[in-house]
Structure 1
Amino acid sequence: MASTPQIVDLTRARSGRSGTQRAALYTPTGHRRRLSVAARGLLASVVTVATTALCASAAVAAPRDFARYILPPGNYGGLPTNDDSTDQLPLYDGLTYLRGRVSRADLVRFFLPMDFRPIGKTRVEPTPNPDVRIVYDAYGIPHITGKTRSALMYGAGWVMARDRKLLLQLGRWPGRAAILDIPGVDAFSLVTSATPFQPSAQAEALVRRQRGLILRTYGREGQQLLRDAADYVRGINDWFERHGGLPDGKPFTVDDGAAVTAFIGSIFGAGGGREYENAMLLAALDRRFGARLGKRVFDDLMLSVDPESPTTTRRRFRYGPLTGGPIRGSVTLDPGSVRLIDARQGPMAARAARSEPPRKRMSNWLLVAPRRSASGHTLAVQGPQLGYYYPEIVYQQELRGPGIHAQGISAAGLGLYMLIGRTRDYAWSLTSAGHDVRDVYVERLCEPGGGAPTRASTHYLYRGRCRPMGRFYAGKLAGRDISFMTTVHGPVIGTATLRGRPVALARKRSTFGREALNLMALKAMTEGRATTPERFFKIANRFEFTFNWGWASRRATAYFSSGRLPRRARGLDRRLPTLGDGRYEWRGFLSLREHPHDVSGPGGLLLNWNNQSAPGFMHGDDEHYGSVHRVEMFNRWPRRPRLEQVVSIMNRAATEDLRATLVWPTVRAVLARAKAPNALTAQAVTLVDRWSRAGGSTLDANRDGLIDAPGRAVMDEAWPRIAQTVLRDRLGTALVDQLTRVVPIGEAAGFGSGWWSYVDKDLRTLLGKRVRGRFALRFCGRGKIGVCARELWGALAEAAAKLAADQGPDPTRWHAKAPRIRFTPGLIPDTMHWTNRPTYQHVIEFAPR
C-alpha cells in the first residue's frame, strides 16, 4: 500500500537549529527573514504540492486527529533567557497578519504539533528519580513519563521548578494575599512588582485548613490529590536543592499549591462585589429623575439581562437580578459617601472611592459539532487570554503515567495537572465568566453602651446585637505590618453613609477558604474521566471559580458555566449592596442543572468570548451585556466549516475593530438624517465608511508602525465623543462621568463592558428599527432624530478638527499608531503586533475512532 502524503511539517523536520534560526524559518511576509528568496519559493511549492496531495488522497486516507498549539513568547520562563524563551513568538505573530485567510498549511506553519510526541531534536533531563523520564523537545516543551503515578508527579514538580523558578519565587507568598482578600491590595501586582510579602501565622493557618477540607469533601479521591501534591512538591524541592538551594531556605509545601490556586482564581475566576459603585449611580439617577424613573434608567444602564444580548446557549436559565418579592434587603448609599480602605495604610484607613480597575477578559473558544463540520469531525479552536508576560504564568507539557495521559498547559505552581489541554479523546478550555460569587454587605455601625457611631467605629449590628469586628493580621508587606477588620461576611473594604448614618462595607466571597478544592476538577479532567457530556458537566461543576468551560470529544461538543453561585434571600436586587443585619444571608448554592450548560449548541456551534452565558442569567453585578458584544464578530460562517475556516473566523475577529463593524453602520444611518457641517468632517466620515465596509482591520501590514486605515484614526478620536453625545442630553455631564466609572466607554478590542450597546440600542430606536428591551428614555437628541444627527455630526467635527490640528489637513494621511504587545514586566525586549486573541491556543480536529 502506498504511503499517504502529508502536509510538510517543518517542526518535525527541524533538529539542532538555534532558537533564532527556528524563529526565522517561520517569520511571515514582511518580517525580517534569514531564508533566501529561492528557498522561500521552494518551501511554498513543497507546502502547496503536499496540501494538494493530501486533499486528493483524503477519500482513502485513514482518519487521524489534527491537533496543534501555541504559547508565546516561548515555553521556558527563566533568567537568563535561552533559545526556548521566545521561539514561539514569531509563530503566534505570523498568524495575525493573515486575518481571515488562514489555510490548512498555515495551521502547520504557525502552530506546534500537540500529538503526544516530542518535536525535532530532543534531550533527556537528568533527575535523581529513576522512575521518571523527562524529555525536552526542540521547543523546550517537556514530555514527562512516570513508571508510577508518584514518579510522574515528581517529574512534574521538577519541571515546574526548572522552567518557572522565577515565578515560583515571586508568586509563592503573594498567593496567600489572594486567599486573604486584603482590602486595597492586588495580589497579582505584588508578583509583577516583586513586592515581598511575609504571611503571618494566622494567614498560614487559614491556608493549611484547606487540606482537611479536601479530605472531608472528597474522601479517598482527596487523599490521592494530597499524595499527588506531596510528590509534586518533592520534585520541586529536589530541583532547588540541586541547583543552588531553596529560596529563603524554606521548602515548598502542599499549601503553596492552594495559594497559587487562589492566585489564579482571584484574577480570572471571580465576579461581582462592586455593588457600592452601582448604588452610588442609582442614588444619582434617583436625584435627577426621581425614584421611579431613576430606577428604570438604572435597569437600562446596568444591561443585566438585555434580551438582545448574544449568549452561548439559547436555553434559558433563571438567575436574574431580582430574587423575588418587594426589595427590602438591598440599599442605595448616600451619593459620594463611599470611602475604600487600603490595608497598607491601616486597618480602617479609607480614601475617596475610585473605580476599581476593570477586569479585561479576552479568552475565547469556538466549537463545531460533527454534524456541522465539513469533515463530519469535531472541530475546536480554544484558548484562555492570560495576559502577555515573561515568564508566562502557564507553560506547555505532556504528562504520561498510570491513569494519566494528557497534553496542554499547566499554571505555574499547579503543574501536577493540566489547566487546559487534551487527552486522547477530548479537549477542553476555559474563559472567565465573571459570575456573581462576591457580595457587598452593608454593616450598620454601633458603639457598645449606645454611643453615637462614627465611620471609625469597629462594632456592627448583626442579628440584633452590637458585635465587635474581628481583626486579621495578614503579615508584612514590603516590611510593613498589614491588618484589616472583618465581619461575619468578610473583610471590611470601605465605609459609607446610609441616610446620613455611618456604615461599613464588607465583601463576602463564596470561594473563600475553599480555593484548593478547584484542583479536583483539573485532576479529573487530566485523568481522562470526562468521556461524555454528562460526566464532563459533573466534573466542571466541581470547579468553584467562575469559568465558561468548552469541551470537545470525538462525538460531541458541550458547554458548562461553573462557579459556586449563591442562592440569595428574597427581597434583594443583586446589583445593590445587601443589608448585613442577618436577615438576608445566602440560602445555599445553585445545583448542577441550574448552571448554564448545553450540548452541540445552536446550529451545531458553541461560541464564547466572555459573553453572557444564557438568556435570563445575570453574571456579576460588574458585568454588563447588551445588544453589542464582540462574540458577534465570530460571524460569516460557511454552511460546513473546515478547521482552517474556524481559525480564520477567530483570527479575523482578533484584528477587527468592534466599533467599526458592529456600531458604526447604525451611527452612519443616523448621520444620514442631517448634513455634514463641513467638507473636512464629511471626508473623515467617508474614511470610516470605507474602513467599516472593508472589515475594520487593525493591522499594520506595511510595518511602518501605523494602522493602515485612516478611518481608525477618526474612530479613535471620535468614539468617546459619539458615546457621550448620545447620553449627555438626558444624563448631563456629571452623570455621564459617573457612568464611565461603572461602565467604561470601551475601545476597539471590545473588552468586557462598554457603551457600544447604549449607542446601538438608542440609535436603532430613533431609526424606528425593531428593538427588544427598549430603554425607558430616548437619549440622543432627547428622542428627536434630527437633533441627534446634528449633535453626532458636531462630535465628529470636533474629532476631525483635532486630527487636522495634530496630523495635518489631509484626512487620507491621518493614522493611528499600531499598538504592540509587550511582555510584562519588561524582562525581554520582544514585541508583537496587537491582536485580541487568546495567549495560549490549541486547534484540534478529532477524527472518529
Structure 2
Amino acid sequence: MSRRTPRNALDRLRTPRGLHGFLKTASVCALIAGVLSPLSPAMAAGTGSAEVKAAQAAANDHCGGQCSDILPPGQNGNATLAQILLNQAFGTQPSHAEDQLGPYAKLATGYQGLSNDKINTFFNDASFGVPDGQAASTVRPAGRDDVTIVRDKKTGVPHITGTTRYGTEFGAGYAAAQDRLWLMDLFRHVGRGQLTPFAGGAPANQGLEQQFWRSAPYTEADLEAQIESAAAKSGERGKLALADVDAYVAGVNAYIDASDKGRYFPGEYVLTGHKDAITNAGTIERFKRSDLIALASVIGSLFGAGGGGEVNNALSLLAAQEKYGVAEGTKVWESFRQRNDPEAVLTQQDGSFPYLPTPADPQGRALPDAGSVRAEPLVYDRTGSAGAAGATGASAKAADAAVTSARRGMSNALVVSGEHTASGHPVAVFGPQTGYFAPQLLMLQEIQGPGISARGASFAGLSMYVELGRGQDYAWSATTSGQDIIDTYAVELCQDDYHYLYRGTCTPMEKVERRNAWKPTVADPTAAGSYTMRVWRTKYGPVESRATVGGKKVAYTTLRSSYLHEADSIIGFQMLNDPDYLNGPERFQGAVQHINYTFNWFYADSEHTAYYNSGDNPVRASGVDAEFPVWARQAYEWQDWDPAANTARYTGASAHPQSVDQGYYVSWNNKQAKDYPAASWGNGSVHRGDLLDDRVKKLVAEGGVTRTALVKAMAEAGLADLRAEDVLPGLLKVVESAPVSDPAAKTAVDGLKAWLSAGGLRTETSAGAKKYAHADAIRTLDAWWPLLVKAEFEPGLGSDLYTAFTRNLPVDESPSAAHGPTGAHAGSAFQYGWWSYVDKDIRSVLGESVKGPLAHAYCGDGDLTACRNTLVSTLKEAAGRTAAQVYPGDENCSAGDQWCADSVIHRTLGGIKHGGIGWQNRPTYQQVVEFTSHR
C-alpha cells in the first residue's frame, strides 16, 4: 500500500491510509484496551440530587416551553485516545459528539411540514433545568459543595448550579474543560502565535498562527495587562469580573488535574507528544488569565473587528483614475464601493445615523505610488521539512480554508414584535454563523448562581458567561456588523526601514518575534521544522506593508480600536447574564454598549424587542476619509488618541443604530441604517439580507406571525439561491427581449424559468436523496454566473480595473464556489458577490429606474441588443459545461457530484471527524424563542 508523508500529528489520523500506517505499529486491540478503561466521569451515568433538582425547579423561567435552540455537531468536543482511534477506524462517535448534526440537517427537507409541536424535532427544548428522570450525570467538581454540574440525557449540555459566585464560575470553567479542553488549548496557542510547537507544523497550523498573530502580535506583558486594565475601568463590576475569571480558570485547571490523574484527558495530547499513553508521562499546561486574552484575540479578530482594506481600496481607486481620469475615475470607484446605497436593505428601518461621511475635500490621504506596494514579510528562517518551496503559500491557503468560513459571516436574525404575532408576544429566530468545526467553536451551557441566570452558547474558553442565549424572561443574539474600526496609517520612514517619524521624532519600531519549532510525534514521526515570525510594531499599529507615497518610503500600519482591548467587552456580557440588572430593552442596550466589538445585537422578551449596534467607533480627524490610508501625522490621528493605551474619543451611544419595538428586524450582515456606511463592498440593491426581509415583511403584512412561520421563513431563505431569486429574472428579461432560437440556449432558459417557478431553491428531490431538484438549472447558473460577470464588466472596465475590483469584492460565493471568500463546504454563502452590480447594470440596460446606479452602463455598453448577445453567448457556454467541469471534485467529493460540492463539512480541529450534511445557509447556533410572561 502506498503511503504519503504525513503533515502533522493529526493529519495521519484524517485519512484511512495514515491511520492504517499508524495502527500497524501496534496491536489495535491492545492499544485501544490500554486507553479505553479510564473514562471521564462526565460519561458515567448518575442521578441528580434532590438539592440540584430543587435548584433547577426554582429557576425563574418565563419561557413557557417556547424556547428552543440547537448547536451542531454536538456538545461533547473532547475525546480520549481510544475514542479517536475508534472514530477513525470504524466511524464511531463519542457520546454527544455528533447527535445534533442529524436534527440540524433535517430541517432543510422538513421545514415545509413544520408545526409548533414539531419544532423540537429539529431543535431542543431550551427551558431552564433538567426534567425529572433526564439527568445523565451529576458532578461536584473537585469535591466542592457549592456547585453541581448536571448533564441531561438528550444533549449532554451542562447545567451548572452554584450557591456561591466563586463556585458557580468554578463550575463553568470545569464544564468548559470537560467539553472543549483540547480546543481551548489549541486556540490559546493560536492567539500567541505558537500553534506549530504545540500541534505540529502542518500548513493549516502554520497558516492559523500566522494569520492571527499578525493582527494581534501581543507580548506576554500585553496579554497579562489587558484583563486588569479592563477591570480597573469598571468599578465593582470590574472587580467582580476579575474574580469570575480567576474562579473560571481555577475550574479549568481542576479538570486538567482530574483528567490527568484519571487518564481521561483528550487523546490529542498523546498524538501530539504531550502525554504518553502508556506511562502517562508528560504535562498538560495549566491555564492562566492571559490565556483567556489570547483566546479572545482570536475570536475578536474572527467576528468583531470590522474595517481595514484601505490599501486595496487605494489600489483600485488608482486603477479607476488611470482608466477614466481623476474625477470620473473617482465617480466610478464610488459607484462600485456603494458606501451608502439607497437601495440597500436596512436593519434599522427609520432614522439616520451618520458615520464616516464621504468628505468633499479629503485630507491627509497617503495613496501609494503605482507598483510600489509590497506586503511585509512575516516568516523568516525556515528550516526542516516545512521549508520546501511553496510552504508559505500552502500555509496561507490552508489558513484561509480553515478560518474564513467563520470570519466572513456571523448571521442571522429575524425578530417580530408582538403587534404582528398570533400570541401578542414577540417572536425571534436568531443565532450566530460561526462556521462548521469539529469540535465546534461554541459550546452550550446553563449557568445558575448568585447574579447569574442564563442558558445559551459561549466561545470555548470564554464561557464564564453565556454570550448568546436567554435569561429568565429575555433572549438575545448577535450578527457581525463589521463597521469600520480599523484604519491604515502611512508612517514615514527615517534613518532606515525600521525607524519612523512619530510626531516629528525619528522613532525605532518595536520588533516582536516568535521562533517556532516543531518536532516529530507519536502519530507523525517524520515532520520537523522551524521558522521565525516577525512583526514590526509602531505606535500606529503593526506594519502590514511598505510602499512609496510621492516618492517617500512609508510603512503602512493597521490600527484597530479594539487592539490592546480584547478584554473590555467582559462587562457587557456580565450584564447580559445578570437578572438583577437586565429587566428590559433599555437595560439590554445599556449592557451591549459595553461591548467594543462590531456586532448587531437583538433582544426579545414577552413584551418588547430591541436592537443596538455595538463597537468602539473612533472619531476621525476632520476631513479624513477612512476608506483610504492617511498620513501618520497628528492632524490625521483619531481624536483624543492616546497611543500608549490605544484609546480615543468614540462616537456616543446615540450615534449607533438602535431602536426599541420596531415592527420587525432582519439582519444577515447587511447595512445597519441609513447613512451608516456599508461594512463591505457590494452592499447594494441585492444582498442576502433581502432573502429574509422579503419573507418577514410578507409575514408581518399578513399578521399572526408564529414561531413556526418564522422558522419556515428562515429555513427557506437558507436554501435560496440569491442570484436566482433576485438577479436571474432581470437576466432572463434581457435574454428574452428577442426570441431565443438557439436550441441549447432555449433549453437552458426553459430550465432556469422552471426552477424559478419552483422557488429558485437548492433543495433535494426528497429527504436523503443527495440530488437536487432542477439540478441542470442549478448547474447552469453556477457555470454561467462567473462567465456573465466577466463578459459584462471586463470590456468596459478594462482588465486592470476589473481585476482590482475583484480583489475588493469576489465575483461569486455560491455554496460550491471553492474560489469564493469562504471556500468550499463552508455553509455560509451569498454574502459576497457582484449581485448588486449585475442587478443595477441590467436594470439600467432595460431602462428601468435605478436609485444609486453605477457610473456607467456596462453590459453591451448599455445597448440592449449587444447586452443580450453577451448574455446568450455566455449562457450557451455555461449550458455546455458538464457537471464534472462545474464541480471538479476535491478530497471530499467526486467530480460532478453537485450535492456533495455544496455540502457542509465540519473542519477538523481535533481527532474526531464528522460526515457531511446537505447545504443550508443558516446560523451555526440558533434559538427560536417566544416568552409568555415577564417578571
Q: TM-score range by the shorter chain?
A: 0.7 to 0.9
Change (3 A) 1:842 1:790: same
Flag the 1:100–1:434 CA change in 2: closer, same or farther, 3 A: farther
Amino acid at match of 1:842: Q
Displacement after TM superposition at 1:177 (Å): 4.2
Q: Match of 2:726, as an amino acid?
A: L
Q: Contact between 1:440 and 1:578, CA under 8 Å: does it hold in 2? A: yes
1:728 is the counterpart of 2:780: no
Specify the alignment match of 2:642 in structure 1.
none
Q: Which one of 130, 133, 153 corresponds to residue 145 of structure 2?
A: 130
Deviations 1:673-705 (A, max 9, x none): 234361111111111111122111112234443
The alignment status of 1:615 with 2:674, answered yes or no, reads: yes
Match for residue 684 of structure 2?
A: 626
- The alpha carbon displacement at 1:499 in A equals 3.3
Does residue 908 of structure 2 align to residue 825 of structure 1? yes
SS of equivalent residue, structure 1 residue 97: helix
What is the distance in 2 between the residues matched to 1:63 and 1:608?
A: 24
Q: 1:725 to 1:178 in 2, by over 3 A?
A: farther
Q: Name the residue aligned to 1:70.
A: 70
Q: Could you give the per-residue CA deviations for residues 403-431 of structure 1, whole angstroms, max 9, x where no partner exists?
A: 21111112100121001000111100111
- Whether 1:264 and 2:305 are equivalent positions in the alignment is no
- Decide whether aligned partners of structure 1 residues 68 and 192 sit closer, same or farther in structure 2, where only a CA change above 3 A counts: farther
Counterpart of 1:737?
803
* 2:611 alignment partner, SS class: strand
Match of 1:404 in 2: 452
1:706 match: 771
Match of 2:931 in 1: 846
Distance in 2 separating the partners of 1:440 and 1:798: 43
Aligned counterpart for 2:740 among listed residues 672, 676, 681: 676
| Structure 2 equivalent of residue 313 of structure 1 | 348
The answer to whether the 8 A contact 2:63-2:930 is kept is no
Amino acid at match of 1:235: G
Secondary structure of 2:684 counterpart = coil
1:474 is displaced (CA, Å) by 4.6
CA distance in 1 between counterparts of 2:305 and 2:348 reads 21
- 1:203-214 to 2 correspondence within 5 Å? 203-214=219-230
Aligned pair partner of 2:539 in 488, 491, 504:
488
CA distance in 2, matches of 1:674, 1:335: 45
SS of aligned partner of 1:172: helix
Q: What CA deviation, in whole Å up to 9, does each residue of 1:785-825 have, x standing for no partner?
A: 221111111111111222499699xxxxx983442211112
Distance 1:623 1:430, change over 3 A: farther
The residue number in structure 1 matching 2:633 is 581
Contact 1:322 1:572 in 2 (8 A): no
Contact 2:191 2:212 in 1 (8 A): no
Q: Which amino acid aligns with 2:191?
A: G
Match of 2:610 in 1: 558
Displacement, 1:193? 8.5
1:445 correspondence with 2:493: yes
**Does structure 2 conserve the Cα–Cα contact (< 8 Å) formed by 1:322 and 1:571?**
no
Corresponding residue of 2:898: 816
Q: Which residue of 1 aligns with 2:783?
A: 717
CA gap of 1:67–1:281, structure 2 versus 1, over 3 A, is same
Q: Give 1:282 deviation, angstroms.
A: 0.7
| 1:537 to 1:121, Cα distance in 2 relative to 1, 3 A | closer
In structure 1, C-alpha distance between the alignment counterparts of 2:306 and 2:886, rounded to whole Å: 42
Decide whether the 8 Å contact of 1:284 with 1:335 is kept in 2: no
Matches within 5 A, 1:2-13: none
**Percentage identity across paired residues of the two chains:** 33
RMSD: 3.1
Q: Give SS of 1:473's match.
A: strand
Q: Tell me the distance in 2 between the aligned counterparts of 1:262 and 1:477.
A: 23
Q: In the alignment, which of 454, 471, 488 is matched to residue 511 of structure 2?
A: 471
2:326 corresponding residue in structure 1: 291
Which position in structure 2 is the counterpart of 1:363? 411
- Aligned partners of 1:115 and 1:308: how far apart in 2? 40
Cα distance between partner residues in 2 of 1:674 and 1:192: 52
Counterparts of 1:139-218 in structure 2, within 5 Å, are 139-177=155-193, 203-218=219-234
From 651, 669, 674, the counterpart of 1:590: 651
How far, CA to CA, are the matches of 1:591 and 1:346 in structure 2?
Answer: 47
8 Å Cα contact 2:380/2:532 also seen in 1: no
Deviating more after overlay: 409-418 vs 628-637: 628-637
State the distance in 2 between where 1:187 and 1:371 align. 53
Matched, 1:746 2:812: yes
How many positions carry a matched residue from both structures?
A: 764
Deviations 1:713-742 (A, max 9, x none): 000000011222221231023322222111
Q: Give the structure 2 partner of residue 536 of structure 1.
A: 588
Report if the CA contact (8 A) 1:329-1:578 is conserved. yes
Contact 2:98-2:914 at 8 Å conserved across structures: no
Distance 2:342 2:249 in 1: 49
User: SS of the residue aligned with 2:150?
Assistant: strand
Aligned equivalents of 2:845, 2:359: Cα separation in 1: 33
1:45 maps to what in 2? none
Closer, same or farther in 2 for the Cα pair 1:727/1:325, shift >3 Å? closer
- Which blocks of at least 5 consecutive residues in structure 2 are unaligned? 1-61, 84-92, 196-200, 266-273, 275-282, 383-391, 519-529, 640-648, 816-828, 888-895
Contact 1:333 1:499 in 2 (8 A): yes
Offset of 1:63 from its aligned partner?
9.1
Pair 195,615 (structure 1): closer, same or farther in 2 beyond 3 Å: closer
* 2:232–2:239 Cα contact (<8 Å) kept: no
Q: State the shift of 1:781 in Å.
A: 1.2
1:325 Cα offset (Å): 5.2
- In structure 2, distance between residues paired with 1:216 and 1:521: 15
For 2:636 and 2:762, how far apart are their aligned partners in 1? 48
For the 8 Å contact 2:779–2:886, the answer to whether it is kept is: no
Alpha-carbon spacing, 1:671–1:191, altered in 2? closer, same or farther (3 Å): closer
Deviation sequence 1:428-466 (CA, Å, 0-9, x none): 01111111111111122222xxxxx6xxx1222333333
Q: Aligned equivalents of 1:237 and 1:417: distance in 2?
A: 18
What residue is the counterpart of 2:879 in the other structure?
Answer: 800
Q: CA deviation at 1:558?
A: 0.6
Q: Name the residue aligned to 1:34.
A: none
2:99 is aligned with 1:87: yes
Query: Does the 8 Å contact 1:116/1:407 carry over to 2?
Result: yes
Match of 2:379, SS state, is: helix
Q: Tell me, yes or no, if structure 1 residue 766 matches structure 2 residue 845.
A: yes
In the alignment, the residues of structure 2 paired with residue 660 and residue 77 of structure 1 have an alpha-carbon distance, to the nearest angstrom, of 38
Deviations along 1:498-555, one digit per CA (max 9) or x if unpaired, are 2343321100010111111111111110113332222111111110010110111111
Code of the residue aligned with 1:74 in structure 2: it is: G
| 1:486 to 1:235, Cα distance in 2 relative to 1, 3 A | same
**Structure 2: distance between partners of 1:117 and 1:551:** 22
Match of 1:9 in 2: none
Contact 1:332-1:498 within 8 A present in 2 as well: yes
1:224, CA displacement in angstroms?
0.5
Whether contact under 8 Å (1:199, 1:475) holds in the other structure is no
Partner-residue secondary structure (3-state), 1:768: coil
How many Å separate the matches in 1 of 2:553 and 2:216? 31
1:118 to 126, 130, 137: 130
SS of match in other structure, 1:583: helix
What is the alpha-carbon distance in structure 1 between the residues aligned to residue 849 and residue 714 of structure 2? 29
What 5-or-longer segments of structure 1 have no aligned partner?
Answer: 1-61, 180-184, 448-452, 809-813
